């Protein structure tokens, strides 16, 4: 964007990151089955049913995985993989445990979205962020120009070439040993 960030563009970036509440619908669908044995019958009660969900028992736990997770290996905003129990046996469903153990989808998501809402409501902070991001982009342009100039000054055959590594270390272009 190079110097074109505004409070509005920052708000748009943040709004696009608000996480969907799909897992909340799953938790609500599981709640009536608290205390009942975990089985594939639970899949019929989830949004989308067996077409959307798979029950997996492996590596010492039981989990439900949606189609978005299976197709993208978890690399989708809609991907959900919820641990139901730390057992492969048919144990009773403990909904509060499920919510607690999958904090990423529940408490964590709620907190991240709450913070996003706070950020979106604070226009002065969004303006400061836009200014800061524009400054960073300007500095990247200046750094790229300075690196090209530096490279020309220490190029093969120039008087500074033999000392290029020392000069790079002195200005931070090369990490000191």
SS3 readout for 40-51? CHHHHHCCCHHH
Mapped onto helix, strand or coil, the DSSP state of residue 89 is: coil
Inside any domain, residue 176? no
Inside any domain, residue 1? no
Inside any domain, residue 108? yes
Assess whether 115 and 162 both reside in one domain. Answer: no
Instruction: For the chain, 177 residues long, give each residue's pLDDT as a single digit of tens.
Output: 455 999 999 999 999 999 888 888 999 999 998 998 888 888 988 988 889 998 999 888 999 999 988 888 877 788 889 899 998 888 898 999 999 999 888 999 999 999 999 999 999 999 999 999 999 999 999 999 999 999 999 999 999 999 999 999 999 998 877
Assess whether 18 and 92 both reside in one domain. Answer: yes
Q: Residue 26: which residues within 8 A CB-CB, separation 6 or more?
A: 46, 47, 64, 80, 82
Inside any domain, residue 45? yes
pTM for the model: 0.74
Q: 42 lies in which domain range?
A: 7-120
Instruction: Give the chain's domain count.
Output: 2
């Amino acid at each position: 964007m190079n110097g074109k960030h505004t409070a509005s563009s920052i708000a748009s970036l943040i709004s696009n990151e608000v996480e969907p509440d799909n897992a909340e619908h799953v938790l609500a669908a599981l709640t009536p089955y608290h205390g009942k044995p975990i089985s594939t019958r639970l899949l019929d009660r989830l949004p989308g049913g067996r077409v959307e969900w798979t029950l997996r028992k492996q590596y010492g736990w039981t989990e439900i995985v949606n189609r978005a997770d299976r197709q993208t290996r978890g690399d989708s905003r809609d991907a959900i993989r919820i641990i139901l129990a730390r057992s492969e046996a048919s144990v009773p469903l403990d909904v509060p445990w499920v919510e607690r153990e999958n904090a990423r989808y529940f408490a964590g998501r709620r907190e991240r979205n709450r913070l996003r809402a706070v950020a979106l409501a604070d226009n002065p902070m969004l303006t400061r962020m836009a200014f800061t991001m524009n400054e960073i982009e300007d500095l990247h342009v200046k750094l790229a120009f300075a690196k090209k100039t530096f490279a020309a000054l220490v190029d093969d055959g120039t008087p500074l070439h033999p000392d290029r590594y020392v000069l790079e270390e002195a200005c931070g272009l090369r990490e000191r040993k």
